[in-house]
């Protein structure tokens, strides 16, 4: 009689174990389906980027060197090698491609510490609207992806009394990481832009050609790459 009283309990435990096993087997599929259903196939969102560029603007460096040598001698490092960049704009994104309209601002400062004299500072700047496109190559999960792309811009450059503008282009590649609604895109790029200023009857090249490392930040609904 005692054995019969325990039969309903054993039967209930078996049912609970069977239901638990079914839940364990189905949960990953249900979770994946939920993530896929919450993912978008397109989005429009603001984009912000930062970068460090490396270049050698010869005429600008020659100007700084000649001025410093004439006043203080040749024992100073006068060359510009690096610039800082900030950019922002709007991106239209599909699964395997995006299109961006951006505004870029670059600044290359130079500060020369003069022994026994007044310190001297220089600033070489660039401002440019740009249109770019990136193509994505997803990883196995489709959550992250490599990307390769490029863009065209029209640059306005300024140094001392010299100003010039010119079209240019940029090639870039990187990796796109999605963390929920946060998208992080570290990248490397090559930019070509060069223009000639004719001031005081002197042809002076303003050059921002060189390499760059940077990162693009954005917040938007998750978009699977495949």
Partners of 104 in beta bridges: 87, 128
Domain that holds residue 109: 41-219
Share of the chain above pLDDT 70, in %: 81
Q: What is the pTM of this model?
A: 0.78
Looking at the structure, do residues 91 and 24 belong to the same domain, yes or no? no
Distance CA 47, CA 97 (A): 15
49 and 26 share a domain?
no
The pLDDT, as a whole number, for residue 81 is 95
| Sequence-ordered list of residues with C-beta below 8 angstroms from that of 50, at least 6 positions apart, any chain | 85, 86, 87, 214, 215, 217
Q: State the total domains in the chain.
A: 2
Residue 199 resides in a domain? yes
pLDDT value at 27 more than 80: no
Tell me, yes or no, whether 90 lies in a domain.
Answer: yes
pLDDT tens for each residue of 181-205: 999 999 999 999 999 998 767 889 9
Higher pLDDT, 34 or 226: 226
Mean pLDDT, range 154-171, rounded to an integer: 96
Number of neighbours of residue 202 by Cβ within 10 angstroms: 10
| 3-state secondary structure (DSSP) of residue 21 | helix
22 and 90 assigned to the same domain: no
List, in order, residues 6 or more apart from 180 with CB less than 8 Å away.
222
The DSSP element (H or E) to which 49 belongs, if any, is strand 42-55
Q: Is 111 in the same domain as 158?
A: yes
Same domain? For 97 and 192 the reply is yes
Residue 97 lies in a domain: yes
Q: Is residue 160 part of a domain?
A: yes
Residues 64 and 109 in one domain: yes
What's 59's domain CATH number? 2.40.160.20
104, 153 in Cβ contact below 8 A?
Answer: yes
Q: Are residues 65 and 17 in the same domain?
A: no
Q: Do 31 and 104 share a domain, yes or no?
A: no
DSSP 32: H
Tell me whether residue 109 is in a domain: yes
Q: What digits encode the pLDDT tens for the residues 122-148?
A: 999 999 999 999 999 998 887 899 999
Average pLDDT of span 73-86? 87
Same-domain check for residues 13 and 118: no
Q: What is the pLDDT of residues 97-111, one digit of tens each?
A: 999 999 999 999 998
Start-end of H helices in the chain: 2-38, 58-72
172 shares a domain with 93: yes
- Looking at the structure, do residues 168 and 66 belong to the same domain, yes or no? yes
In a domain, 226, yes or no: no
């Amino acid at each position: 009689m005692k054995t019969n009283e325990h039969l309903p309990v054993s039967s209930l435990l078996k049912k609970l174990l069977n239901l638990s096993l079914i839940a364990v087997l189905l949960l990953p599929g249900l979770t994946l389906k939920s993530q896929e259903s919450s993912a978008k196939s397109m989005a429009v969102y603001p984009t912000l980027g930062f970068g460090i560029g490396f270049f050698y603007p010869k005429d600008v460096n020659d100007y700084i060197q000649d001025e410093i040598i004439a006043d203080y001698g040749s024992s100073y490092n006068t060359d510009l090698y690096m610039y800082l960049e900030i950019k922002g704009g709007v991106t239209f994104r599909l699964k395997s491609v995006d299109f961006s309209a951006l505004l870029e601002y670059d600044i290359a400062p130079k500060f020369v510490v003069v022994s026994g004299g007044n310190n001297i500072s220089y600033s070489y700047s660039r401002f440019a609207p740009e249109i770019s496109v990136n193509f994505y190559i997803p990883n196995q999960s489709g959550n992250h992806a490599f990307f390769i792309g490029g863009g065209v811009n029209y640059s306005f450059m300024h140094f001392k009394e010299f100003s010039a503008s010119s079209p240019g282009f940029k090639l870039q590649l990187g990796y796109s990481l999605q963390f929920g609604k946060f998208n992080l895109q570290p990248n490397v790029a090559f930019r070509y832009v060069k223009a000639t200023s004719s001031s005081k009857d002197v042809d002076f090249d303003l050059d921002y050609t060189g390499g760059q490392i940077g990162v693009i930040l954005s917040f938007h609904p998750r978009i699977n790459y495949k």
